[in-house]
Amino acid sequence: MDKTKVLIVDDSSFMRKIIKDILESQPDIEVVDSARNGKDALEKVIKLQPDVVTMDVEMPVMDGLTALKEIMEANPVPVVMVSSLTSEGAEVTLKALEYGAVEFIAKPGGSISLKMEDIKDQIIEKIRIASKSKPRRIILEKRIIQTPTVRKETPVPPASVQQKKTVLPFPVILIGTSTGGPRALHKVMDDLSSNINAPVFIVQHMPATFTKSLAMRLDSISKFSVKEAEDGDIVKPGHAYLAPGGQQMGVIYTDGILKVKLTKEEPVNGHRPSVDYLFNSFAKYNFSKVIAVIMTGMGYDGRDGMVKLNAQGAVTIAESEETCVVYGMPKAAVEANAVDVKVPLDNIAFEILNAYKNITR
């Protein structure tokens, strides 16, 4: 069996030992070495060529963010950030994800955590996910020329379905993503035109502290007003609603008013928030003028909901494999024949605008 080789980077010998013991309890993972700071990590990445690096944030000599940027510029390797479950830890982690980290582990109980065993399964799963990802030289990426794409032929819904359409006064845009999502969302929300008179609903698989910070970061760069959704929010065009970590986000439609509905129902496909939960919430009403997007992520969350939306005549868009950090969720939707358009990340906003123009003619 080819083992996943992991380099552990943390200035705490205790944390290095805990993480090593967790990972080496698995027959398919091998810890090849550890490093006490970012400078040490850079040298060992070049020397050992690990499959995955776990990177602490706060370290002497060279911190984790600086080391991450240098790794992604010079010698890209999947990096999993290890940070505390605080607002400060969330902010730094989101920066790291934008710089090219593929995943993160939130330490329970502080920077020197005595509770890492409590999240043992999560740590192992994230290392395995990272080992299947495609890190990129973020600084050197070239923009992709946006050109119109040829949509797959989709059947016109039967008259019986068309007659049952719920007509909203505006189109809606739904976006679902997971591993690699924060950076992809940053790109799409930055690119989305202010001429789009529609609300945006976003599901990103993340804990609660992190979704609040993500909403703030997206709001700072987007032409839309982005917020972490609250139960009962009246949905308005020009606003984007990010599902809070630990809650499912759907909608209710009564008396011509669309509102956000948050619940703590059971996870769907192992996730809360879940992309399928959001998509199915919209499919239940058979709304007209829906644009649904699935981007980078592990697994198949969003596939079943996209199948339903596509059958109802929604425009469905998936990120193509060449720009996905993990080509899981989009691939599942494509293989289910539920995708109209498959394009690289740089073209997602362009395709959303095209779809918006077509459905509002």
Write out pLDDT tens, residues 197-229.
Answer: 999 999 999 988 899 999 999 999 999 999 999
The pLDDT tens digits of the residues spanning 65-120 come to 999 999 999 889 999 998 876 677 788 889 999 999 999 988 887 666 678 888 99
Tokens of 96: 């790291």
Q: How, if at all, do strands 257-263 and 248-254 pair?
A: antiparallel
Query: Same domain for 182 and 256?
Result: yes
Query: Same domain for 114 and 188?
Result: no
Closest CA to 93 of 290, 282, 229, 245: 245
Query: Same domain for 238 and 121?
Result: no
Tokens of 263: 């619940």
Closest CA to 139 of 214, 70, 189, 81: 70
C-alpha 215/C-alpha 208 separation (Å) is: 11
Determine the pLDDT at residue 154. Answer: 46
Determine the pLDDT at residue 203. Answer: 98
Determine the pLDDT at residue 116. Answer: 87
Q: Is residue 320 part of a domain?
A: yes
Closest CA to 95 of 84, 81, 106: 81
| Distance separating the N- and C-terminal Cα atoms of the chain | 56
Tokens of 274: 């879940």
Catalytic residues: 178, 205, 301
Q: For the domain that residue 341 is a member of, what is the CATH number?
A: 3.40.50.180
Q: Is residue 154 part of a domain?
A: no
The pLDDT tens digits of the residues spanning 137-171 come to 554 344 444 554 555 544 444 444 444 788 888 99
Contact between 268 and 154 (Cβ < 8 Å): no
Q: Is residue 331 part of a domain?
A: yes
Q: Is residue 143 part of a domain?
A: no
- Please determine, for residue 235, whether its predicted confidence score (pLDDT) is greater than 90: yes
Determine the pLDDT at residue 138. Answer: 52
Determine the pLDDT at residue 192. Answer: 95
Contact between 97 and 218 (Cβ < 8 Å): no
Mean pLDDT of 185-205: 95
Q: For the domain that residue 37 is a member of, what is the CATH number?
A: 3.40.50.2300
Q: Is residue 140 part of a domain?
A: no
Q: What is the CA radius of gyration of the chain?
A: 21
Q: How many CA atoms lie within 13 Å of 37's alpha carbon, on the beta-carbon side?
A: 6
| DSSP per-residue letters across 14-30 | HHHHHHHHHHTTSTTEE
Query: Would the CA dihedral through 307, 311, 317, 321 be positive or negative?
Result: positive
Query: Would the CA dihedral through 324, 330, 335, 339 be positive or negative?
Result: negative
Query: b/e map of 88-111 (b: 16 or more CB within 10 Å)?
Result: ebbbbbbbbbebbbbbbbbbeeeb
- Expressed as residue numbers, the domain containing 65 is 4-135
C-alpha 309/C-alpha 287 separation (Å) is: 9
User: Please, what is the average pLDDT of the chain?
Assistant: 90
Query: Same domain for 74 and 197?
Result: no
Contact between 350 and 146 (Cβ < 8 Å): yes
Determine the pLDDT at residue 63. Answer: 92
Strands (E), 182-256: 200-204, 225-228, 239-242, 248-254
Nearest-5° Cα angle at 42, 36 to 47? 105
Query: Same domain for 122 and 265?
Result: no
Query: Same domain for 264 and 181?
Result: yes
Query: Same domain for 58 and 173?
Result: no
Tokens of 325: 């950090």
Query: Same domain for 184 and 74?
Result: no
Query: What's the structural domain count of the chain?
Result: 2
Q: Is residue 147 part of a domain?
A: no
Query: Same domain for 80 and 214?
Result: no
- Please determine, for residue 17, whether its predicted confidence score (pLDDT) is greater than 80: yes
